[in-house]
Every structure is written in structure tokens, then in C-alpha cells.
Chains A and B, each alone.
Chain A
Amino acid sequence: MSQIEKALTAPHVIEYTYKRSLGPVLSQFFTALRERRVVGVRRKDGTVLCPPKEYDPDTGESLGDMVPLKDTGVVTSWAWVAKPRPQQPLQKPFAYALIRLDGADTPLLHAVDAGSESRMKTSMRVRARWADTTTGAIRDIACFEPVD
């Protein structure tokens, strides 16, 4: 059979409109974000998890002792995104980074708007840039930016 000129193509979108019930601990985290604050949760040994968890990852104990944190921190790891995709947090080259906020012992995944890859460095200091309007979601922090 003869080959056809060109295979047909069509856009194909799959979308799942999930809603997640937050529970008491994450509810406090997202409510704080809406107020442009960050909170973590304290474990029995005194260390602080941010993002907070409902249960201690080592012991399984219930957690709920919320701790206010600063919106500054340190990059512990990062990856440069040279060509952002439409759903990503910034529409210009940026870094995804693990950021340990001041007062926390675990890192939070977020975007860093550093302008260029050469400015990114593990151990660099960053500060949250808050969104103009907040809704109680992780994007209430628009991104982080380097602190000189």
C-alpha cells in the first residue's frame, strides 16, 4: 500500500481536576502562606520540618506544634530550567531549588529567579518574593530571589 504523505496529528489534552483536603497541619501551612507567612512543624527532637508533615517521618508520631519561620533561607541543591514550560512558575529561565528556610531543618522545593545560571550556587542566600494576590497555595510565594 502506498505511504500517505503525512500522518494526521491532533491536540490531545488529559486533565484531572483534583482537589485535595489538607487536614489540620497543612491547612495551617497554606493559611499562613495566604497571609504571606511561612510555618513549619516541630518534631519531638526539636528539629523543624518545612514543608510541615502530619506525622514524624521517623517515628510516625502525630505532629502539630507549628513554628513561625522567616521567608529567607539557603539553597541546598538546584537545577537550572533553561526553557520553562507554560505551567511552570516563571516564564523565563530559572532554577528549581531546595531551600532550607531560616529556622527549619528540612528544605522546601521552589523556584529561584536568579537571572542567569552563573548566579546559582549551593549555599546561596535567598528570600521569598510574594505574589501580588495570595490564595492559600504554594504559588503565594511567586519565587525566591538571591539576597546579596
Chain B
Amino acid sequence: MSVNDKARIPGGETFDAAVVGAGVMGATTALFLARGGMRCALIDAGGVCREASGVNAGTLTLHMTRAALIPYAMRGWDMWKNAPDWLGGDPGVCTTDGLSLAFTAQEAALLEERVEARRAQGAPIEIVTASRAREIEPGLTDDARLVAHCPMDGYVTANLTGHTYRRALVEAGVRLYENAPVTGIEAGDGGFRLAMAGVAPRARRLVLAGGVWLEDMLAWLGLRIPIKALVNQLIVTERVQPVMRSVLGIASGLLSLKQFANGTVLVGGGWQGKGDRARHTTEIVPDNLIGNLRLARYVVPALAETRIVRAWLGFEAETSDALPLVGPLRGIAEAYAIGCVHSGYTSGPYFGRLLAQRILGQEPEMPLFDADRLLATP
């Protein structure tokens, strides 16, 4: 494959690849394509990593990762841990221990089952005694019935993602189009023409990385793949004295709790708010905010004396089988999609790199997730 052959289509600037959507998926893909020698455009309706990838909880956890994605998440975790080496900066990465808890008999059974399944995929998770759990996390309540420990956990300061990625992208020579919503795509012999305000770029290769808006993007190419939009709520406290040192969750995955170095405590776990992806509006559901907060307060009693200062929401994409959509779009030459990865922030850098390998004509290190299985039969 020749990488730098410039297709000469009349009109706007022509790139080897255009990536639409600058979340962690699209931004990483673009970064590695550029490093692989391609002239690459990255286009986003807003800024770099300002949707899911900039507002997520930033937890790098295997306890919450779907079993089938454990091998990818472990490599993603590793990439985050070594972010300065490949991203050229550190968006506040901290690796630490992670505990997953069970408080009822039912949760204990769930935890055992899930630990088993994740271990089978290579996750270094094991059940620990109560006293070991308290050693790992002195802030923990006494009430846990069963605790699983994973030494491979941690978090990133997600709101810094865009800052770090943007610099890396500019340095790698990726051409950024920000605040530039794409409204359609024309696929022709010479490649793709993007419809957007101003002088629209053209490209030989197309990567759709629209997060929860991937469904609309695929429709531009005539593909119908239903993608569900989860609307996750997060809550953060003011800065407080250290109340915990690990990442805490529960068996069902409905809690993700940690304290950042600056003292703020982030409470999440996928409790749902309300939102409309088409209108780009979200709002919290107060009862879910209180419920999530109760859970956090139960797990770390010292949180009682803190104040919450902010809650926000983000859209997370999910396919019908809750597995990713990463790979070529069969039937349309040189068109690819990447997204819908559960706990996709953790594994995002790795999936982006895998897809870039595939586009650059190399053999991806791990299998991709084909779109064909998801195509709705008309």
C-alpha cells in the first residue's frame, strides 16, 4: 500500500485519511495514522475529547470491564500508565489498587461469578479477606461480605484528556478541524468527500468515530446499525482530606469511586440521567443522584462530612450485543468505524492503535470487532 499518494479530487484539501470524531477512539486512531506516515485530518463537531472522552469518570478498571474485553483493557491500562511515552504528556494518570465489593448474598454470588470470568480472560483479580481489604483501603466500610482485589486499577483525570491529546495531535502533524460538524459523506471512486461548513476536506480513507452519534454517521453511508445511548451521571465533591486511596466498585458495576490527588472524590457507576443525543441535551435524575451518593457514602463512611459541588452527564454508546464496533465497514472500500467499547476510556488508546495498524496495512495485534454482525437486515 502506498501511503502518501494524494488523490486529486477537485475542491478542498485531500488527505490520506479523515477521522470524523475526536474522542479517545478517533483521536488515538488519527495520532497513530499520522505517526505511520499518513496525512491525516481529524474533524470534530466540538473540540478534542469534549464528549464522553472528556467527561467520563476516567477509571482504568478491570473490575468493570466486560470479560471479553479484558485483554484489550489490560493493554489500554498499560498505555495509559505509560502515556508520556506515546502521548507525550500525562493527563493525570494514577495507577492504584481496585476493589470490587459485595454486600448481600446475591452480590457475593455475582462477584464470584464475575471474578471467575474475568480471571479466565487474564485479569489478575482475586478474592481477598476482609482484613486484607481494609489494609488495601483503610477508608472502607466494615460491612462488605466479599471483596475482590485487582492490583491493575487506577484513573486518569479525564477532563485533561483533550488538553494532552490536542498537543500530541498537533505535534504529529494531524490537521485538526474543530467546531466543524460533518453533516454527510459522499463516497466516490477517489475516496470520500465530507459535507461540512467551509472548505470541506476530502480523503482516501474514512474513519467514523462518532461515539454515540456513530449511528447517524453510519447512516450517511447507508448502513443501519442501531446504537443505544446511555446517559451516565457523575458527581464530584469539593477537595477534602484523604478519605480513600484505591478505586472502589461493587459487583454489579454500579459504583465507581475514587479520590483524586487534588482531594476531590468522584462518584459514578453508570447511574442514568436523561438525555437527547440529537438535541445534545442532558439532565440529571435527582433520585439517581441521591441513590448513587448513598451507595458511595455507604462504602466510604467518611464521605458523610463532605459536600458535593457538581454533577454532570455524558453519552456512552452501546451496540445491541454490548460489544465493540471496531474495524472495516464491509462493502465500502477504505471505510472504517470505531466505537461502542464498554469501559472504552480504559481500552480506547489500544483500540485506536489497533485500528491504525489495520489501516496502515499491518496485521493488528489482536482481533477487531466486525460490523457485519450488527447490520440490521432491512
Chains A and B bind each other: no
Interface residues of B (CB under 8 A from A): none
Interface residues of A (CB under 8 A from B): none
